[in-house]
Amino acid sequence: MTVDDGRWTFGLAPLPQTVELAALLRQVAGLAMAVDDEDPAVEKLIDDLRAASHALETRVAPDAGPRVGPDAGPHQRPYLDHARDIGAYNPCFPEYDITVNGPRASGRVTFPLAFEGPPGVVHGGVLATFFDCVIQHHNCDVGVAGKTVSLLVEYRRPTPVGVELSFGIDRVTDGRRITSTARLERDGSLLCAATMAAVAGDRARLPAVLPRVER
């Protein structure tokens, strides 16, 4: 575990290559969903991805468990920091911009086509994931985070894909529990809201995260 400027971090930074790959995979997935017929570029990409998959299988650790805790070792995989910006390295998570100002935070997000559910609308499960990510990001930047106890998402209006949206978060804590309320809006109109409760953790009690190893 490392602590920078009082922020809560737990895990390793992603490789620059991993960050670049995530954005491309998310973009290409949306583009492939939008074409009307099969394309040779996609066929070539499939072949390249198969080759990359076979090559990476020889490079990864034999144990799929994370390299965390007293019994961890080089036979396990590296654990990446999930405190903030998960979407930057994992294409299955949304990307967003956030500004933290103490108990309040705000930001912008655009959900790409890869996260579509109903026609032209963001999948509700993705919205729940989004709220969990940005609220925990807020908690970690403030310096006190913990395990989620509950997450209530209220869907008020359909959330469109491909449109820049704004969000805001307010956070209160009694030292033991953190309660956050968040809202997602388009031009001042509420699309959905979330309330999340988390148990405040102790950074000093987090298990050790082992560094990367050469293979």
For a pLDDT cut of 70, what percent of the chain falls above it? 98
CA 182-183-185 angle, 5° bins: 160
User: Residue 214: its pLDDT value, please?
Assistant: 81
State CA 163 to chain mean position distance: 19
User: Residue 2: its pLDDT value, please?
Assistant: 43
Distance CA 99, CA 108 (A): 9
The rounded mean pLDDT for the chain is 95
Reported confidence tier of residue 176, pLDDT bands at 50, 70, 90: very high
Distance CA 112, CA 161 (A): 6
Q: Set out the domains of the chain in order of their start, with CATH numbers.
A: 16-205 (3.10.129.10)
Q: Is the pLDDT of residue 1 over 90?
A: no
- The CB density around residue 4, as the number of other CB atoms within 10 Å, is 7
Distance CA 158, CA 137 (A): 24
For the chain, give me the number of helices (H) and strands (E)? Answer: 3, 8
Give the residue among 198, 193, 207 at the shortest CA–CA distance from 159.
Answer: 193
Give the residue among 71, 72, 90, 191 at the shortest CA–CA distance from 133.
Answer: 90
Model pLDDT for residues 17-53, shown as the tens digit of each residue: 999 999 999 999 999 999 999 999 999 999 999 999 9
Reported confidence tier of residue 4, pLDDT bands at 50, 70, 90: low
Q: Do the Cβ atoms of 78 and 212 come closer than 8 Å?
A: yes
Encoded tokens for 18: 């991993």
Q: Is the pLDDT of residue 7 over 80?
A: yes
Average pLDDT of span 120-140? 97
Model pLDDT for residues 131-171, shown as the tens digit of each residue: 999 999 999 999 999 999 999 999 999 999 999 999 999 99
SS3 172: strand
Model pLDDT for residues 204-215, shown as the tens digit of each residue: 888 999 999 987
Handedness of CA 184, 4, 19, 63 (dihedral sign): negative
Mark out the alpha helices in 6-146 (DSSP H runs).
16-34, 40-57, 124-142
